[in-house]
Amino acid sequence: MIAQTPRLELYPDRIGENAKIVYDLCHAHGATVAAVAKVTCANPSVVHAMMRAGADMVADSRIQNLMSATALGLERPSMLLRIPTPSAAHDIVRYADITLNSSLGSLQVLSEAARMLGVTHEAVLMIDVGDLREGVWPDHAAKVAKAAAALPNLELVGVGANLACYGGVIPSVENMRLLVDVRNECRDASGLELPLISGGNSSSLPLLASGKMPAEINHFRIGETVILGSNVLDRSDWPGTRQDTVRLVAEIVELERKPSVPIGLRAQNAFGETVEFDDRGTRLRAICNIGRQDTSVDGILPQDPGIRVIGGSSDHLILDVEDATTPIHLGAEVAFTPNYGALLGLSTSPYVEKIIRRG
């Protein structure tokens, strides 16, 4: 059977190796780990690899992915990372054991949904410690926690923070200590134990590895470092991990020698951009069967060092293959390593075949 293109090749065994290294680091600190496979749309093979490596729960930002993960029979708690949508409260309570919340209003909606379904739902109160994405401002947190403690069918189990996503703020001893202090204030105000302190995502791993992470931080939500083997603060390789965990393969559908600068009067392109071009003379150019509808073309790196991505349209990827070191011809396959953003698009696109590779 001929493999289709474009295709995304996933290597769950290699991802599992990465997961074991990262999870062992977290467990040595006394923390539990939520495995985040959202960048692969919770691909079952990837989720299973993370579970076998020792993840304590499965987490995702999309309730649809959690529904799929729940169907795998993992027998581990599920956590919804995205702020709950009020209109989906019943599905959220049904398929997510724990949610991350940033307002009393969200907690009230979940409480009512849980009451109607006859279950108790667990919630984490997110605290904004500086990244300015989701979270209650620290000086409001105790008031929210006290009110949440009175809600029926809802158990506030801890606090959490998100960093290095929107504002790029790096996890530090100072902002992690602030999170611990806020938890203590919420504990005093509410009378709840609040045992869980979720100290962030993969961006928290460098602080953890340095030995400076406060001991009270006992939960992490880890995705990118496991799946791509990268330090998310600078995208360097995380020590001991593999980076050959995912691969994009596209196919050449046109191969022609052309000038490197368009000819004629130019306006904006199809995406409203005004593009500048480097004049490198006449070059051998290839067009592949993938485009910006499927991925971020700026986020894919050709595995052949002699190939360069020039740009892309909705459906086509344009390459300079003049200096390619691998055979280039019509119908030839070209392999790429995607970064996190590109992988997210590839996983989401229904036009990209997903293939599991073992070993």
Q: Kindly list the catalytic residues.
A: 38
Six-digit token string for 119: 């279950």
**Cα 70 to Cα 145: distance, rounded to the nearest angstrom:** 29
